[in-house]
Structure 1
């Protein structure tokens, strides 16, 4: 199972160790950060985050509940109160040895549960670079639908990257996650949520 907990300054060093090259940083954050990632830039990233009374963004670390190990990072932000919408960003399975073990699915389902069940959102979207086939597969398995592609949206070195837009609507989430479908689901809060992987 995956448990989401708020990302804090105590987690900075681990995230910096995980993001050890410029391309990975670009894939993870777009143009938000420059390489190398620093504690100062992460302090700025956390400003205004994780405040349930005025959500700007919820930034989480993902913990494997069996081992207690932090295995990833994910955030939910770009909230639109009017449209009851938000966006998943900065998804990362940190340890390369942990990839392919279902952690991505657990993280995505946990943050979707927070968005739809706790925050009452109607729509949650994300963008993923078209060459990241593992992430695309993870998001599709979690129920997100492809809505389109933004061609050559990011310039990196001598080339361009295209971005696939994906989203899930509240009724699609509820249909796929009725009690008969997810017997192991547990209570969620914006600060901590558990999902079986």
Structure 2
């Protein structure tokens, strides 16, 4: 039997301390005491509501994000690096330290702020694709997009020996890839 206890959080939880067998993370995986199984690389986009862009203008160059001309809405919590956005420029990845009047530790709140016209957000495309499709959000700076983000499963070293964990990882990897691809395809 497999027991599932679903915990949703935008924070990286200490799975060893919490006694969690497997966690799924979106972002930079830095904890070397854990094993990681990459599931997929996820495209990220910069988006803003049309009413924000009408009021403030659409940025043409990434450097426009640095000053006070634009409000960048940020996901911030202990260990978060969202206040530095790494964009893919013609000369390679370049870091931009962005600022804005709002920050939160909840990704859904961040999206809500963008939808209400409060600023620009940096999000995985699959999270905002429905809003892009219905034109409530617009992709900006598409020629210099943010670097992709890794979606991965992390687990303690000893857990991979458990056949239930291996089975769950295989099942979830296939399902998550299909779900994200379907979402991006508008299904």
TM-score under structure 1 normalisation?
A: 0.23
TM-score under structure 2 normalisation?
A: 0.24
Structure possessing the higher radius of gyration over alpha carbons: 2
Of Structure 1 and Structure 2, the greater strand share is in 1
